[in-house]
Amino acid sequence: MVRPYQPGDEVGIAEAHRRSIHELCSKDYAPEQIADWGGARIKPERYVESITKNSEKFFVLDDSGTIGGFAGWFGEEIQGFYMHPAYAGQGWGKQLFAVAEADYWQSTTHPTCTIISTITAKPFYEKLGYKVVGPYVRTFRSGVSLDCWKMEKQRPA
Ligand SMILES: CC(C)(COP(=O)(O)OP(=O)(O)OC[C@H]1O[C@@H](n2cnc3c(N)ncnc32)[C@H](O)[C@@H]1OP(=O)(O)O)[C@@H](O)C(=O)NCCC(=O)NCCS
């Protein structure tokens, strides 16, 4: 079931996030990038802060209490979209993303939706109609950086 975030989901969200980076993104990024990106910066309270203070909208895939993935949007961007490896590659990501994207289009008047995509997720977004705007380097406070792609989709007519 895909549903909006509920308090308490943040522990499962953090686990899905960490495992997604370590087990799915590790094919496209170096071990030192994975260690930093999927390391101590992943803390349940960070999602709570984004949702409560920054009004980020979060949706989760809930499999009888196990968080199978999550997708969030804020401003003009879908910001966090990660599947737990046990739930990836089965069509669940597409369903979860569709709910978050529909909420974005309904809740905003922005003409475009932006995504800073990992190398890993680029083919997924391309399938859903997102186009590459250009390369984008995401740099963490630690100084570690990730090569990503800035992608955009036009509001459907
Ligand atoms: C990218 C990700 C979210 C996709 O979720 P998923 O549940 O695996 O995707 P789905 O099974 O719903 O696939 C939907 C479609 O995309 C395609 N697809 C998904 N990943 C793909 C890939 N890497 N290459 C090519 N096609 C891909 C599927 O074949 C499927 O196609 P279909 O609709 O024609 O059958 C997931 O793999 C993931 O969490 N990756 C690591 C984290 C990450 O990089 N997140 C993005 C942050 S910006």
Taking the C-alpha atoms of residue 134 and residue 116, their distance in angstroms, rounded to an integer, is: 10
Looking at residue 5, what is its pLDDT?
96
Looking at residue 54, what is its pLDDT?
82
Looking at residue 14, what is its pLDDT?
98
Expressed in angstroms and rounded, the spacing between residue 23 Cα and the centre of ligand 1 is 14
Looking at residue 53, what is its pLDDT?
86
Looking at residue 55, what is its pLDDT?
85
Taking the C-alpha atoms of residue 137 and residue 148, their distance in angstroms, rounded to an integer, is: 6
Taking the C-alpha atoms of residue 12 and residue 59, their distance in angstroms, rounded to an integer, is: 12
Q: Which residues of the chain have pLDDT under 70?
A: none
**What tokens does 96 get?**
């979860």
- Residue corresponding to tokens 């990992």: 118
Residue identifier of the C-alpha nearest atom 17 of ligand 1: 124
> 101-108 — which CB contacts under 8 Å span 24+ positions?
101/73, 101/128, 103/57, 103/59, 103/73, 104/57, 104/73, 104/78, 105/155, 105/156, 107/57, 108/76
Taking the C-alpha atoms of residue 114 and residue 103, their distance in angstroms, rounded to an integer, is: 14
What domains are defined for the chain? 2-111 (3.40.630.30)
Looking at residue 42, what is its pLDDT?
96
For ligand 1, whether the C-beta of 92 sits within 6 Å is: yes
- Residue corresponding to tokens 């961007």: 77
> 27-32 — which CB contacts under 8 Å span 24+ positions?
27/120, 28/118, 28/119, 28/120, 29/118, 29/119, 29/146, 32/144
- Residue corresponding to tokens 């800073």: 116
For ligand 1, whether the C-beta of 120 sits within 6 Å is: yes
**Closest C-alpha to 129, from 112, 109, 107:** 112
Looking at residue 91, what is its pLDDT?
98
Atom of ligand 1 at shortest distance to CA of 94? 12
Looking at residue 60, what is its pLDDT?
98
